[in-house]
Amino acid sequence: MNQLAFIGLGNMGGGMAHRLVERGHRLTVFNRTAAKAKPLVEAGAVVADSPEGAAEGQRVVLLSLSDERAVDEVLFGRVVPVLEPGALVVDTSTVSPGYAREAAGRLASKGLRRVEACVVGNPLQAREGALRVYVSGAEEDFAEVRPVLDAIGSQVLHLGAPGTATSMKLVLNLLLGAQVASMAEAVAYGVAAGLDREQLITSIAESGFSSVVMKFRAALMKGGRYEPAFFRADLMAKDVRIATEAAHAAGLTVPVLDTVLERFAAVVAAGDGAKDAAVIAEHQA
C-alpha cells in the first residue's frame, strides 16, 4: 500500500499527493502540466510521462481530475488498459452520482475495483491531511485503502454504495455556493445603502450569521484576492449544475439553487472561472 500512482496534481490533488509523500508513501505521479509535478519530485516522488506510465504495474491508483470528461479520457481511455485484474482505483474527482455508479460498473466489468473518495476542504487542508473524506464502495476495498485515506483526512466516513459519497459532497457544495452567492448579494445591497464595504464585510464575518466558509470568503472579498483560487468559480458552477440536475431528475424543485447556478455560470461566462468562487462579489449588477 506504500506504492501508489497519483494522477492529477491540481490544487487539491497536488496537496493530497504532497501529504502522502510526507507520510512515507512512494508515489509515481502524472499531471498534464508537467511543471506541477516538480515540487513532488523534489520531495521524493517519481514522475511519469503519461497516465498509463504512472499506473502500469500499480495495485492502487488515485485520481484527482476536473470532471467526467477528464475521467473518461484518462481513466477509461488510458489507465484501465494497463491495470492488472484486482487493481483498485481511488477516485477523488467530483462527478455526478449517476456517473459514479456507472464508473464502478464499468471497472467491475473489467475485473477492477473503485473506491469513491470525495474530499471536502481546501488545498491547505489537503496538504495538512485535514480533509473530510466521504467514501463509497465495497467495505473490503475501503478497508484496504483506509491507511491512504487516513493520511489525507482528519475524518474518513464510509457512506455505502457507489454514488452516495458523491451525493454528500454535492450537498455540501450546494450549501457553499449558496452562502457565497448570498453574501455577495448582501454586500452589494449594503454598499448601495451607503455602508462602508470593508467594515460591512468584517461585520458579516464576525456576526452570528457567519460560518467558517463565509469568514474565509469574506477575507478574499475584502482584499479582492481571488487568485490563486482555493475553489475555482468554474468548478463551483460545475458542481452546482451536477447537483441541481440530479435534484430535478429526482423530481425536486430547487429554485434557490437554480439561481445560484445562474449566478456562477455568469461569472464563468464573464471570464473569471479560474478565480476563486468569492469573485462572484465582483459580478453583482
Q: Which residues are catalytically annotated? A: 169
Paired sense of beta strands 113-120 and 131-136, if any: antiparallel
3-state secondary structure of 168: helix
Distance from C-alpha of 91 to C-alpha of 117, rounded to nearest angstrom = 6
CB atoms within 10 A of CB 200: 18
The dihedral through the CA atoms of 188, 190, 192, 194 has a sign that is: negative
Instruction: Assess contact for 79 and 52: CB atoms under 8 A.
Output: yes
Q: Which of 27, 49, 51 is nearest to 40 (CA)?
A: 27
Name the helix (H) or strand (E) containing 119. Answer: strand 113-120
Residue that the C-alpha cell 430535478 belongs to? 248
Q: How far apart are CA 49 and CA 186, in angstroms?
A: 48
